[in-house]
Structure 1
Amino acid sequence: MSVIVNNIKKELREFTNTDVKKSDKSFFKEKVKTYGVRTPVVRKLANRYFKKIKHLSKEDIFKLSEKLLQGGYNQEATIAIQWVAKLKDKYSVYDFEIFEKWLDKYIDNWGKDDDFCLHVIHPMIELYPTWIENVKSWAYSDNMWLRRASAVSFITTIGEFYATKHSFKDIFEVADRLLLDKEDLVQKGYGWMLKSASVHNQKQVFDYVMRHKEKMPRTALRYAIEKMPPKLKQQAMQK
């Protein structure tokens, strides 16, 4: 199986573009490992190699995916996450513990975090809602990527926009826990969650923002109200 991983690494090195590598690094505050390969190219590579491994067991594909995650490169993580997401119909209730371990151990920037949460964790908690309490508990983690994940995991893609169908009890509980978080990427994460929740119920999110706007960091507040009408935005932004 290591041959597959080595071949992927070899191809990624061949696709390396210096300008793309510089651009990739500009998106992140933290140091990132990147080959400098555009995402559409990486996704095509992931699909091509998945055809070669789809006959394998779920467990073996998970092992290959973890090997890619261990490399630390953004593009390798993209491939790993794409493969695991393709297996969502085969997830068992116990797979959550594997995903939680990966999230804590290998996810080290917002790009990997969001990709993993949207395409792996969210489908998992839709299949097995009993794990929602665990996701909410990440809001107390020392690991900022777990804290961001506690919010982003409630977001899903619906058509061309992001939304959440989860209960406001869960969403507001996570927002309460993250309300005063010092990390701006965590603030953006829960602000994004609130914005996504506003797609289905703008009033409840607006009321929540108004109750907390004196304490809520402006970064989170701006994200939360982004889809609201100008009049409501103005009210929310008034000090």
Structure 2
Amino acid sequence: MSKILKEIKESLAVLSIPEKAAFFPKFFKTGKGEYGEGDLFLGVTVPDQRSVAKEFYSKINLKELSELLSSPYHEHRLTALLMLISKFEKTKDQAVKDEVIKFYLNHLQHINNWDLVDTSCYKILGRYAFENQKENLLRELSKSDQMWHKRIAVVGTMYYVKKGSFELTKEFVTQNLHHPHDLMHKANGWLLREMGNKNEAVLIDYLNKYYKEMPRTCLRYAIEKLDEEVRQDYLKGRI
């Protein structure tokens, strides 16, 4: 283990909170047959992980990040992704950005819980796809059989939504509208809600076409910010 990796792991270990270590496995569904099965936790809060990432991101290389991101401990993986985000956002060198994207795509198997996906995908892969017109990077993931890949794709379009571009979000939500897992229903609804925050008329138009076939969780997330009367109209199928 390199000196920098040892320092990072020791820094996280010192920040471990036993109560959190006991709580997180239940919160992130690590039981037999659950989506986070087998994941291990140190019990470090996200703000503390951000502090560690801020301290070390400029000192660690991608080879070392690969080792950290391959760890069985959840906080090691999230901290690695936080450092990867900083490396991507702080550089103006296109070659470095290309390298970060290649690294991200080569380590998807370790980006395997909703917080790991949601924290990293739109800030790295979504932004890169938008700025380089490489939507197919996200499309390929949206077509994948793996749920985390699909979630990376749709949440990755958050960067597009923030820029006022909605077509890719609608494409992926529609493509996976009937996915069997609740975590996809939540992701789809969340992105639709964010789309509505930018342009409510676009959301209403989409809802009017698809709301009757949406999973209930997806619909509830999507309409959360609408006026209560309109929300009730959708929930009770009056539109």
TM over 0.5: yes
Contact between 1:164 and 1:193, CA under 8 Å: does it hold in 2? no
Letter in structure 1 aligned against 2:81: I
How far does residue 196 in structure 1 lie from its aligned partner after superposition?
0.9
Q: How many residues align?
A: 225
How far does residue 166 in structure 1 lie from its aligned partner after superposition?
4.9
Return the alpha-carbon distance in structure 1 between the equivalents of residues 225 and 159 of structure 2: 16
How far does residue 156 in structure 1 lie from its aligned partner after superposition?
4.3
Contact between 1:165 and 1:197, CA under 8 Å: does it hold in 2? no
Output the TM-score relative to the length of structure 2.
Answer: 0.86
Q: Higher mean Cα deviation, 27-36 or 169-178?
A: 27-36
How far does residue 123 in structure 1 lie from its aligned partner after superposition?
2.5
Letter in structure 2 aligned against 1:233: R
Contact between 1:24 and 1:34, CA under 8 Å: does it hold in 2? yes
Q: Quote the residue 2:32 is aligned against.
A: none
Return the alpha-carbon distance in structure 1 between the equivalents of residues 130 and 62 of structure 2: 20
Residue in structure 2 matching 1:183, options 163, 181, 184: 181
Return the alpha-carbon distance in structure 1 between the equivalents of residues 220 and 171 of structure 2: 19
Q: Quote the residue 1:235 is aligned against.
A: 233
Return the alpha-carbon distance in structure 2 between the equivalents of residues 129 and 77 of structure 1: 28
Letter in structure 2 aligned against 1:201: N
Could you list the runs of 4 or more consecutive aligned residues of structure 1 that deviate by over 6 angstroms after TM superposition?
none
Q: Which runs of 5+ in 1 are unaligned?
A: 54-59, 158-162
Return the alpha-carbon distance in structure 2 between the equivalents of residues 134 and 45 of structure 1: 30
Letter in structure 2 aligned against 1:122: G
Letter in structure 2 aligned against 1:78: L
Contact between 2:186 and 2:221, CA under 8 Å: does it hold in 1? yes
Letter in structure 2 aligned against 1:222: R
Residue in structure 2 matching 1:98, options 98, 103, 108: 103
Residue in structure 1 matching 2:195, options 172, 197, 202: 197
After superposition, residues 152-163 of structure 1 pair within 5 angstroms as 152-156=155-159
How far does residue 95 in structure 1 lie from its aligned partner after superposition?
4.1
Letter in structure 1 aligned against 2:55: R
Contact between 1:61 and 1:84, CA under 8 Å: does it hold in 2? no
Return the alpha-carbon distance in structure 2 between the equivalents of residues 179 and 22 of structure 1: 34
Letter in structure 2 aligned against 1:83: M
Identity across the alignment (%)? 25
